[in-house]
Amino acid sequence: MKSRSSKPAEKAFALYFPVAEAVAALLDPHAEVVIHDLASDRVVKIWNAFSRRKPGDASYLGHDPDLLDAADTYGPYEKAHEDGSRLKSVSAVLRSPDGEKLGFLCINLDLSKLDAAVALLSAFGMPAAQPPEPLFRHDWRERINLEIRTFLQEQSTSLKALDRDGRMALLASLEAKGLFETRNAAPFVAEALGISRASVYGLLAAARAAAQATTKGKRRS
């Protein structure tokens, strides 16, 4: 971790150096930490200087009157490297003991490696093609697994979050696809749901009864 210092204005900001250095050390080498002097519009000190700035360089704050408002923090906001990669930044106001704004402590977090990791994970997570039908035509277990996954995705839920009605709806979906026609399907589903085989049969019977009641109601109307 590199640190450069500039004698002008150092005394006024020396109180904040340990904080800036601690943040820089924790996030090294992925965060650049900069202290800016409002009065001179110059960089006072910088850690992990991947922007290639150095103490004494212009801060380009421009003595903007908006910087003298009551805000104590700005951001997080987005910036960019020279190569276009993303930075996530936040700025904190540095004040004198009497409350006067002296400058800013700015932290620029390099997101390039994170963005690359997200892109890699997204590529691996892209939807795959449907499994070859002849290969899994007779694998009722795989068909049940796929149907359970589809149901959960459509309901935006998980197996653990399913209540009694949710389990009934799932079993009704499996039955509609003919997936209980295999003798060992009920024990397989019971294990997947973490319930007993008797509970599966009970919920399935309740789902069938509810479906029959709905059908009778439609006929009467």
Residue 62 has pLDDT above 60, yes or no: yes
Average pLDDT of every residue of the chain:
85
Looking at the DSSP bridge assignments, the partners of residue 73 are 92
For residue 130, the model assigns a pLDDT of 63
Q: pLDDT tens for residues 154-204? A: 999 998 899 999 999 999 999 998 888 888 899 999 999 999 999 999 999
Q: What CA–CA distance (Å, rounded) separates 216 from 142?
A: 34
* Residue 152: burial class (beta carbons within 10 Å; 0-12, 13-18, 19+): middle
Segment among 18-22, 50-54, 79-83, 136-140 with least mean pLDDT: 136-140
- Domain limits, the chain: 3-112, 131-214
CB atoms within 10 A of CB 115: 12
How, if at all, do strands 86-95 and 31-37 pair? unpaired
User: Model pTM?
Assistant: 0.59
Segment among 4-18, 128-142, 168-182, 199-213 with least mean pLDDT: 128-142
Segment among 50-64, 86-100, 131-145, 206-220 with least mean pLDDT: 131-145
Half-sphere exposure of 39 (CA within 13 A, CB side): 12
Residues 6+ apart with CB under 8 A from 197: 186, 187, 190
**Which pair of tokens denotes residue 13?**
């900001």
* CATH number of the 3-112 domain: 3.30.450.20
Highest mean pLDDT out of 1-5, 42-46, 58-62: 42-46
How confident is the model over 66-85, as a mean pLDDT? 80
